[in-house]
Amino acid sequence: MKTVPLVVTGFGNVGRAFFSLMREKKEDLKRRYGLALDVLAVAQAEGCFYSGGPLEVRQISQGGEPWTSGNPSWRAEMKVADIIEETGPGGCLVECTLSNLETGEPGLSYITGAFHGGWHAVAASKGALVVGFPALKALAAEKGVFLKLSGATAAALPTLDVGLFSLAGARIEGIQGILNGTTNYILTRMGEGLDYAEALQEAQARGIAEPDPAHDVDGWDTASKILIITNACLDADYGLKDVQVRGIAGVSVDFVQSARREGRSVKLLATASPKRQAGKWSLDVRPSLIEATHPLANVNGTEKGITFLTDSMGSVTVTGGRSNPRGAAAALLKDIINIYRPAF
Ligand SMILES: NC(=O)c1ccc[n+]([C@@H]2O[C@H](COP(=O)([O-])OP(=O)(O)OC[C@H]3O[C@@H](n4cnc5c(N)ncnc54)[C@H](OP(=O)(O)O)[C@@H]3O)[C@@H](O)[C@H]2O)c1
């Protein structure tokens, strides 16, 4: 049995879902992979939950909310880097803080600190990867640790596992994706007759869209994902400024419904395609009309999908995957398993 020390940064929807999934899968992880996961600390902005041993969720939260005042496991001002240093190399940081696409923080500092301490990192947050993926990748290589990004790149839908491993040896000649469940849900419901405002309201009422949906509906979540996937798969260094982004707020119900009557559909499609100049790619996110024969045409509701066009393996499409915190937690868990599982 291998015991894996973990530090979870951020205890919001995904951090909490990760805790409950770990508890649910505890015996399975031991039996199938010989892994025991011990969360040594959970970091919030003002400090860490830390008790000197593996933490249980009851030491972190009460009534589902983080419990700091009067909690013997709450250490205000305690730093993640100190816990990593004290534990020694070989653990894994589980990055679940907010995605700040301008500064990359706080994830950038957490991941960098983990690498300097000889720890691997798995990320659900996108900020650090949007701002500094090439540098993080280089640092991980220098320190001999893994950086895994499934949680940040459409989570339960395998995107990088396909692009980096399943397509090894093939040349990727284009990528297309429906990478955001919220906007796909809204467009699907518009195809069924709701107008934009009604579909958004329904998505919010069902907990699919955030109270402030701008990040999703304006296309930036999709843009971040296609950027990270492209940089990782092509070993490139594009920035968010290189992505042309148009969201779905201006899409009319008439447009979506007339497309549907013609057997087509409107999707917020992310595209990475080679430009005419050698070695340059264009990255684009926009509401797009797609034919019924397109491999992503039947990706509806909160589902997502990705198509890779390759030179030697043809077109490869993956669809599905849960779009919620539990799906994101499952993607983090998958990455941890794949870092530590015995080779076969
Ligand atoms: N929700 C999903 O389905 C999903 C799916 C895939 C990926 N993601 C990504 O996963 C990340 C987490 O998502 P979420 O839904 O869990 O967001 P969330 O509920 O807003 O959680 C973010 C957490 O980070 C904490 N935080 C803020 N600054 C921090 C710092 N300096 N150190 C440690 N913790 C800090 C926040 O604490 P306070 O509340 O006290 O500020 C909050 O607990 C995001 O980057 C998101 O883009 C989410």
Residue ranges of domains in the chain:
2-156+326-340, 160-321
CATH H superfamily, domain 160-321? Dihydrodipicolinate Reductase; domain 2 (3.30.360.10)
Which residue has a Cα nearest atom 33 of ligand 1?
44
Measured distance between the N- and C-terminal CA atoms of the chain, rounded to whole angstroms: 16
Residue 111 CA to residue 5 CA, distance in Å, equals: 15
Question: Would the pLDDT of 344 be above 80?
Answer: no
- Based on its alpha-carbon atoms, the radius of gyration of the chain, rounded to whole angstroms, reads 21
For a pocket test of ligand 1, which of 39, 79, 96 has the largest count of ligand atoms closer than 8 A to its C-beta?
Answer: 96
Atom of ligand 1 nearest to the CA of 323: 3
CB 283 within 8 A of CB 243: yes
**Residues present in the chain in total:** 344
Q: Do residues 67 and 74 make contact, with C-beta atoms less than 8 angstroms apart?
A: yes
229: confidence class by pLDDT, cuts 50, 70, 90 = very high
Give the position, in ligand 1's atom list, of the atom nearest the Cα of 97. 24
Looking at every residue in the chain, the average pLDDT score rounds to 96
Number of Cβ atoms within 10 Å of the Cβ of 49: 25
Decide if pLDDT at 343 tops 90.
Answer: no
| CA of residue 65 to ligand 1 center, whole Å | 13
Topology annotation, domain 2-156+326-340 = Rossmann fold (3.40.50)
Each residue of 309-335: pLDDT tens digit? 999 999 999 999 888 999 999 999 999
Cut 0.85: pTM above it: yes
Residue of the CA atom closest to atom 25 of ligand 1: 10
Predicted local distance difference test score (pLDDT) of residue 322: 85
Ligand 1 pocket residues where CB is under 6 Å:
9-15, 43-45, 96-99, 106, 124-126, 151, 155, 324-325, 328
Q: By the 8 A CB rule, do 177 and 307 touch?
A: yes
Q: Whose Cα sits closest to atom 18 in ligand 1?
A: 12
